[in-house]
Structure 1
Amino acid sequence: MFFVDTIEVAGLGNRSYLAGGERTAVVVDPPRDIDRVIAAAARRGVRVSHVVETHLHNDYVTGGLELARVTGAAYLVPAGARVSYRRVSVHDGDRHDIDTPAGLALRALATPGHTPHHTSYVLEENGTAVAVFTGGSLLIGTVGRPDLVEPRLTEQLARAQHASAHRLAAELPDGTEVLPTHGFGSFCSSGQAQGASSTIGKEKASNEALLRDADDFVADLLAGLDDIPAYYTHMGPANAAGPAPVDLTPPAVADAEEIASRLAAGEWVVDLRHRLAFAEGHVAGSFNFEAAGQLATYLAWLIPWGKPVTLLAESPGQLAAVQRELARVGIDRPAAAATGGPEQWVRRGEALASFPRATFADLAAHPEPGVVVLDVRRDGERSGGYVEGSVHIPLHTLPGRLAEVPGGQVWVHCGGGMRAAIAASLLDAAGRDVVAVDDSFDAAGKAGLTIRTR
């Protein structure tokens, strides 16, 4: 008998896996905070004998090297990946025994496309394929994006991605479970995952990569690619060099004076509370990235890389969770932190800043001229429909384009409210009169606003 445990990394839209038998197990694409993986292995009562990477990741810092060091496991990395540390180079067709009494082994399948060296791993029980760890190759209902390595290679990798999906479908039984790393909200996915689980047979019936010829599939895949998070630039090199062990000890405590001083120095002070609480009262100049949202992705995308960040949290637990999440994308140590509420974060006599929230119905009923409607969704979202007359500046470009926002009161919206809150905090910190539209974009047309399409 074998088991496969999923280790969710929901904030990044990824999954890692622990798979094995009664005695030993393999870990696939582990997150940087390896204590979660070690705890999962301890619950199963197994020793981690192998740690494998499907590819050098572009969206997070791996914990693979450190996990292999701590557990004494063999560290398997595709041979084509250029790294600066010792590893077991994996080639197409290589087999590694995972749990001999259970008849478990891993077989490597070269599946280039997401990266040139991408490798999937087939989990076999007594020679029969039972699952395949597909990393960023064949995802649930889609495939990994092929444009993260080098622009000149994108079309070539897109065609390789199509071929790799077909190889997996041709060589594996229909009942083989498909276990991807990306595709659950990750920007490494070229489309939205369709469901939580799948098999090769289900993908044959539903995945566009397996239903369409290469030319049509590649054309649509390339046309649908959206912007790449800026922090991805730093992930591949970090993983190739060998990430340092993560340090999750609490950061230094900041009082109101230090918070003010850091703001005056141009550093980022990030309020992790819910957008409703932030809008009602916050430290002037601070930015709102909700702890419960895709915080790591958007904060790492927007912040100038290497700029010190101070975190303001409701509780030590919230702070610790966010610190862990940020470490996964290479924001290792907050400069400082504070917990509690905004009244504790401002100096005596200083007032809290605030701004109103609204719905699309409120916007439709707003008669005043000169109101600016700012859409901060990505290009692909806007192409499906937008409010007539709205200004479009995607959130990830807004910090460098604040001067392009026309004068007047700014009603800022996204697709659901979270990104609008981030944008509203950026505008508020810049001294703009802002209203955060905290509503689903589906409500805009129903409210009577005119929706245009390209």
Structure 2
Amino acid sequence: MFFVDTLELEGLGNRSYLAGGARSAVVVDPPRDIDRVLATAARRGVRISHVVETHVHNDYVSGGLELARVTGAVYLVPAGADVAFARVPVADGDTVAVDDGVELRAVATPGHTPHHTSYVLLEGGVPAVAFTGGSLLIGTVGRPDLVEPRLTEELARAQHASAHRLAAELPDETSVLPTHGFGSFCSSAQAEGDASTIGREKAVNAALTEDVDSFVARLLAGLDDIPAYYTHMGPANAHGPAPVDLTPPAVVGAEEIAARLAAGEWVVDLRNRVAFAEGHVAGSFNFEADGKLATYLAWMIPWGKPVTLLADSPEQLADAQRELVRVGVDRPAGAATGTPEDWVTEGARPVSFPRSTFAGLAGRGADDVVVLDVRRRSERAAGYVAGSVHIPVHELHGRLGEVPDGTVWVHCAGGMRAAIAASLLHAAGRDVVAVDDGFDAAVAAGLTVTGRADGDEQAEQAEQGGRSHRA
């Protein structure tokens, strides 16, 4: 009897898998922090015989090379992938024995990348599970625009063909277990549910219900922003990632924190946004450890810039460090735990800024204010507060000068990105109010929310950062 254990990478919206039989198992698309994989295998009492990659990943650093080295497992990488390390190239139709009666068969499924390969787990020769990586996802497919812009349409058409191949070759009851789609920006849309089968995907997945031209047009029109750190992930994985070092970073005191801020380094406060707003070190930025820390910090920080982490506990710091190594932010320059009072120099005090809601925004006084929307363009296209300025949070650090004068009320869709933006603005000396509220509350609060912006307004907003929203 086979088993499948799922390893969630919640901050990145991805999954890895350990699957096999009574004595041995295969790992699919492992995370860089391989200790979690090794612990899962130890609990199962199985030997890791094979490590497989569905593709060279763009959204996180793989632990496959190191896991294969540590365990002595056979490392399978699609034959078309250009990598700089020794591996066993796998081609369409290749089959490997994992355990008694349990086999893994490679199925070429180009689309997310040109070399993308899915793996079908067979028990007694019968397909049971399809590890689909970034090909067929739950209700959607992996995005085709991460390799080369000139290949995007070609790869989108390949996604359609690959989905149809899987649907034609596998029984309806075959489980679909993708790597992407649970919040990952490698997915072309959010996964529709938590589990699926080939039969269900035939009924609901646009790749299987629409003709190729309609599917491609819809897919290309819906592509969203690409996190900046993706540029570094593919080359790191192709070269061969180094082993991780999760030992605690050097402890820094208040004077050192102040010196690093003065030098222009990033000091990142990992505490929740409520605590940060109530008191923090002037000049520090707030990226909640419980939010999408790795995605947004890696997206926004200039690549290679030293980062010092401030946390309320050693556990929070360790968890954040683990999240960050998954996207190549390997060693914090320093760290401190405790409270803001511990992190400010003698004679200084923590600083703060107010939080509010959309109802608070609607009921504000007569003073001039700026409403800043830091959601992505795709989110804003579905509706926005009339007169608001639009600068996506991942662009804000480089566009602070475009925010008009006045008190800035900053919002996103739920509060996390607004907190990041508010911390950037506050560090730059702006008066700011963080709107910690769901965007659906804007209409209920009495604010005017307009529909899709026309091309002229979008172009003007891109050029000038929009207009201030006056009381």
Same fold (TM over 0.5): yes
Residue 98 of structure 1 aligns to a residue whose secondary structure is strand
Question: How many Å separate the matches in 2 of 1:438 and 1:208?
Answer: 35
Listed one character per residue, the Cα deviations across residues 328-385 of structure 1 (whole Å, up to 9, x for unaligned) are: 0000000000000000000111021110000000000113242100000000000110
Aligned residue for 1:129?
A: 127
Output aligned runs, 1:223-234, within 5 Å. 223-234=221-232
Aligned residue for 2:22?
A: 22
Aligned residue for 2:466?
A: none
Task: Give the AA of the match of 2:173.
Answer: G
Output aligned runs, 1:31-430, within 5 Å. 31-99=31-99, 101=100, 103-430=101-428
Task: Give the AA of the match of 1:26.
Answer: V
Question: How many Å separate the matches in 2 of 1:253 and 1:352?
Answer: 20
Question: How many Å separate the matches in 2 of 1:402 and 1:347?
Answer: 27
TM-score (norm 2): 0.96
Residue 158 of structure 2 aligns to a residue whose secondary structure is helix
Aligned residue for 2:469?
A: none
Listed one character per residue, the Cα deviations across residues 421-453 of structure 1 (whole Å, up to 9, x for unaligned) are: 000000000000000000000000010000001
Question: How many Å separate the matches in 1 of 2:113 and 2:402?
Answer: 36
Residue 12 of structure 1 aligns to a residue whose secondary structure is coil
TM-score (norm 1): 0.99
Residue 257 of structure 1 aligns to a residue whose secondary structure is helix
Question: How many Å separate the matches in 1 of 2:50 and 2:190?
Answer: 30
Shift of 1:126: 1.1
* Aligned CA-pair RMSD: 0.5
Task: Give the AA of the match of 1:275.
Answer: R
Question: How many Å separate the matches in 1 of 2:435 and 2:346?
Answer: 31
Residue 130 of structure 2 aligns to a residue whose secondary structure is strand
Listed one character per residue, the Cα deviations across residues 182-229 of structure 1 (whole Å, up to 9, x for unaligned) are: 000000000010111000001111111110000011001000101100
Give unpaired runs (5+ residues) of structure 1.
Answer: none
Question: How many Å separate the matches in 1 of 2:164 and 2:423?
Answer: 46
Task: Give the AA of the match of 1:119.
Answer: T
Deviating above 6 A after TM superposition, structure 1's stretches of 4 or more consecutive aligned residues are none
Question: How many Å separate the matches in 2 of 1:138 and 1:418?
Answer: 30
Residue 51 of structure 1 aligns to a residue whose secondary structure is strand
Residue 11 of structure 2 aligns to a residue whose secondary structure is helix
Listed one character per residue, the Cα deviations across residues 87-146 of structure 1 (whole Å, up to 9, x for unaligned) are: 0001001001100x2x11111000000000000000001110000000000000000000
Question: How many Å separate the matches in 2 of 1:392 and 1:59?
Answer: 26
Question: How many Å separate the matches in 1 of 2:218 and 2:12?
Answer: 25
Give unpaired runs (5+ residues) of structure 2.
Answer: 453-471
**Percent of aligned pairs with the same amino acid:** 78
Task: Give the AA of the match of 1:266.
Answer: G
